[in-house]
Chains A and B, each alone.
Chain A
Amino acid sequence: MGVLTEGELRYLQEKLGRPANEVEQDIVGAEWSEHCSYKSSKKYLRLLPTKGKRVLVGPGYDAGVLDVGDGYVLTVHIESHNHPSAVEPFGGAATGVGGVIRDIMSMGTRPIAVFDALRFAPIEGKSKQAQKSRWLFKNVVKGIADYGNCIGIPTVGGEIEFDPSFEDYCLVDVASIGAGKKEEVISNRAEVGDFLVLAGGSTGRDGIHGASFASKALEAENRSAVQIPDPFLEKLLLEATMEAVRQGCVKAIKDLGGGGLSCCLSETSDSLGRGFDVELLKVRAREAGMTPNELMISESQERMLFVTDAQKLPELQSILDKYEIGYSVLGKAEGHENLTVRHAGKVVADMPSSLVAHAPLADRASKRPAYLDRLKKARQPRPANLGRALLSLLSNPTIAGKSWVYQQYDHEVGVRTVVKPGAGDAAVMRLDNGKFVAAKLDGNSKHCYLDPYQGTLGCLSEGVRNVVCTGAEPIGVVDHLQFGSPEDPEIFWTFAQAVNAIVDYCNFMEMPVVGGKVSFYNETAKGAIKPSPVMGTLGLIDDKKWITRPALGHGDTIFIVGETRPEMGGSEYYEYVHGITGGPVPQVDLATDRANGAAVMKLIRNGLVTCAHDCSKGGLAVALAEMAVAGKTGFKVEMDKAPSTCKRADELLFSESHSRYIVGTSKPAEVEQLLKS
């Protein structure tokens, strides 16, 4: 099949003391794919700060777990489904939602919200390319909507960006947060003799080699590698899992995603420290004549692995029967350390789980890309008609209102959605302990292309600003790092820069990274995507009085916090209005960023502001316009009062300098006093 490199095959043979057979090679090939093994990125990811006072479970599990007090937890995870969505947008996006939801369920928590960050090539105009982008966009949104709506989990937030580097491609990132009781979080343990129950969908030939497909550049439309979504079955699995967790009849849960049974069994066996012995004839196959290889690497959706003991097995079975979910007992946990796979009793694969679960790490060369210097300086545009430029930016699909998207998502189900899509800088959901969680996804491929380090700092800063503007204190982030091939040293350098930025920002802010994902090989024949880290920021609001929205109040005095600088590189004004790529991107000064955020949080929590809004894509002018539209009121501002080092009016209006907030207040004297102190 040739998924493993020669070096990897040699390593495998050396560790096994014999050549691996074909089934074993396929199992290892799936698990050692970039998608499942993180073999290129792991060394870097180890640098991320993952500890914090609220972190109960950090990265490495299906989802991160944060303590939100009073015996309650919040879980969070982010995933992407880029390759499948680029080939089959509806199914690819839908199964992406399904996968991230199962990760939340695997921790024993109920998913309470879904978020999506989407990236496409420009959709305006009559060109073939624009038509294709619209087709991808429309069907990705429909895929997310159909899946999330049917399963009854609200899709409440996200972001969408359009950029030519996504031509013939798209990035579909889905994140989910879950809520549950601390005591019900799955502890993930197993004793010898415990049963391995595979429940949910039957196993077919869909999604064969999906993980390997996602670990190569997109060359041909490999539709058979795309899985088929069934949200109804996932809904049944969700309710059955919640019931099983509540009744304490599962000891460990693992969802089946990339790499199918190969990854699920090897990783679970390895993390539980128990060998597994499974019989493949027990797998409920969708079609006759499936080979052991196919059964092991099929990525058929809506499947979960439960570990339970003899005493609780009947109870688990009766729950699965109640929901009419198919299941079978594949095998048992054993005293040894191997993953032993049988077919009709005959051993077809037998390898140490830890060997399978831990790919040899790849050493990737890294080199600063040559284009960076070329794009350091850009020609300055001739000052445009500022009014027309503002209107152009407001109608720019990246900035414009997204109601066409979020009105297709049921964003109300679950009766938790307090700050709704389009109504705030971040979604705010109520929790069972009377507190509220604010969450947002942010990325900026244009900034990250020109300066991956500062661009990534900027995504983090923007995420923090978004949750702060709702009245929340940031408590953690998840990162999703999306790049082209890690085998290209210039691309790998941009990845390393992004990780460095996360390390620096999170260490400085004492904000833990509680989960994440890396997605490489996002390339087509036309080239690699721009570096596209997407950050998901979580914040906590203790008191509902603090919940703040951007809608400007009539008669409010408007304050701007933070300095505007002529940092026009990657701005929507340069790129969208003038078609210029290049120039210095906004720089984040960590101390200023922290101080400004803390000041705004203090203003909000002291009840001094009526509205707050983050200033980002499109700059001050766009942020003010958004506040006015939301508040259905006009405004008058004197721009020369804004702290600024800009010499040009267009720079002052449209620069995307970070660490800036706009607030409205009916108590200007008190706001001024607090900001001065």
Chain B
Amino acid sequence: MKIGIAVFPGSNCDRDVHHVLNNVVGLQADFIWHTKDRISGYDAMIIPGGFAFGDRLRAGIIAAHSPIVQEVKRLAKDGMPVLGICNGFQILVESGLLPGALLMNDSLRFVCRWTKVKVQNNHTPFTQAFSKREEFNIPVAHGEGRYVATPDIVKDLKKKNQVVLQYSHDDPNGSTDLIAAICNEQGNVMGMMPHPERASESIISASGSGEAIGIFRSLASFLEQRAVA
């Protein structure tokens, strides 16, 4: 099983995700440069955090028009698991793979700190290792992390069980309904603002536990089950 990590000029967390997948989870992961418009041989794609294209114009907008994202859109339609983290979430929203928008935090400042999220949907490829309503520690680090959508979209997201994670300890950015992660209707595309790769090893976890590794373990077990089936 192989995971592709999309790399844009300005991606920052690509190497961190690569480290966790290869050295901690034990999944093979490769970097894929943004100019690539055909991807084959990969079972899932991760769009990591950072400042793709320096967040010029608007966070995620230029990357959303890159060749690799057009290919990711095609693969997502075929059911490939796609995870966008932080700036990756912003890119997925800008590309239309996920609804809503990510706006400036209500504090009007960048915020980097540890918080907690609660799992509201544990039937996605990225959350199946968690139990429903399980809480875990994870850090955020973003300037534009406030999830916003029209009331109709939010209602729809809830109805279709697309709110995957909610902030449960405090409110780091003013997101609608404390939304930290959502998925598409099919559940194979998920975007999240907090950084699971920074909370997957106990040594660097403020909580000392590294429980967010469940996001990547979920993906590993999902791919295994699918391979067996």
Interface residues of A (CB under 8 A from B): 145-146, 149-152, 230-233, 235-236, 322-324, 403, 406-418, 420, 423, 430, 544
Contact = CB atoms under 8 A, between A and B. Distances in A.
Contacts of B111: 407-408
Interface stretch (B51-59, B124-132, B215-223): B51-59
B165 to A, nearest CB: 18
Interface stretch (B12-20, B69-77, B148-156, B178-186): B12-20
A235 B15 CA distance: 14
Closest 7 CB pairs of A and B: A232-B54, A152-B12, A410-B141, A415-B16, A150-B51, A412-B198, A410-B112
B203 A544 contact: yes
Q: Which of B55, B56, B110 has the most CB of A within 10 A?
A: B110
A351 B64 CA distance: 52
Contact of B51 (A149, A323, A403, A544): A149
B139 interface: yes
Given A232-B53, A232-B54, A412-B112, A418 B204 contact: yes
Contacts of B112: 149, 406-412
Given A408-B109, A412-B139, A413-B141, A232 B10 contact: yes
Contacts of A407: 109, 111-113
B195 interface: yes
Interface residues on B, range: 20 to 34
Given A324-B9, A407-B113, A232 B141 contact: no
Contacts of A544: 203
Given A408-B109, A415-B197, 11 more contacts: A149-B112, A150-B55, A232-B51, A232-B54, A235-B54, A236-B9, A322-B33, A412-B139, A412-B141, A415-B198, A430-B203
A413 B198 CA distance: 8
Nearest to B203: A418
A415 B53 contact: no
B104 interface: no
Nearest to B16: A415
Contacts of B56: 232
Contacts of A416: 204
B12 A413 contact: yes
B86 to A, nearest CB: 10
Contacts of B13: 152, 413
A408 to B, nearest CB: 5
B144 to A, nearest CB: 12
Contacts of B110: 145-146, 149, 408-410
Contact of A430 (B113, B141, B197, B204): B204
B201 interface: yes
Contacts, number: 82
Contacts of A409: 110, 112
A235 B109 contact: no
Nearest to B20: A415
B9 A231 contact: no
7 contacts: A231-B51, A232-B54, A233-B54, A403-B113, A407-B113, A409-B110, A411-B112
A235 B14 CA distance: 13
A410 B51 CA distance: 12
A567 B113 CA distance: 38
A289 B50 CA distance: 37
Nearest to A138: B109
Nearest to B24: A415
Nearest to A416: B204
Nearest to A414: B16
Contacts of B80: none
Contact of A231 (B54, B143, B206): B54
Nearest to A155: B112
Nearest to A415: B16
A428 to B, nearest CB: 10
B206 A420 contact: yes
A232 B204 contact: no
Contacts of A417: 204
Q: Which of B50, B112, B201 has the most CB of A within 10 A?
A: B112
A406 B139 CA distance: 14
B221 to A, nearest CB: 23
Nearest to B19: A415
Interface in B36-70: 49-51, 53-56
A231 B10 CA distance: 9
Contacts of A230: 54
Contacts of B33: 322
A416 B141 CA distance: 15
B183 to A, nearest CB: 24
Contacts of B19: 415
Nearest to A409: B112
A420 B203 CA distance: 11
Contacts of A152: 12-13, 50-51
Nearest to A430: B203
B107 to A, nearest CB: 9
Contacts of A413: 12-13, 16, 49, 141, 198
B110 to A, nearest CB: 5
A422 to B, nearest CB: 10
B57 to A, nearest CB: 12
Given A149-B51, A231-B54, A415 B113 contact: no
A144 to B, nearest CB: 11
B95 to A, nearest CB: 20
Contacts of A236: 9-10
A110 B112 CA distance: 22
A145 B139 CA distance: 17
A356 to B, nearest CB: 36
Interface in B165-214: 195, 197-198, 201, 203-204, 206
Given A232-B54, A414-B16, A415-B19, A323 B141 contact: no
Contacts of B49: 413
Contact of B9 (A232, A403, A423): A232
Contacts of A323: 9
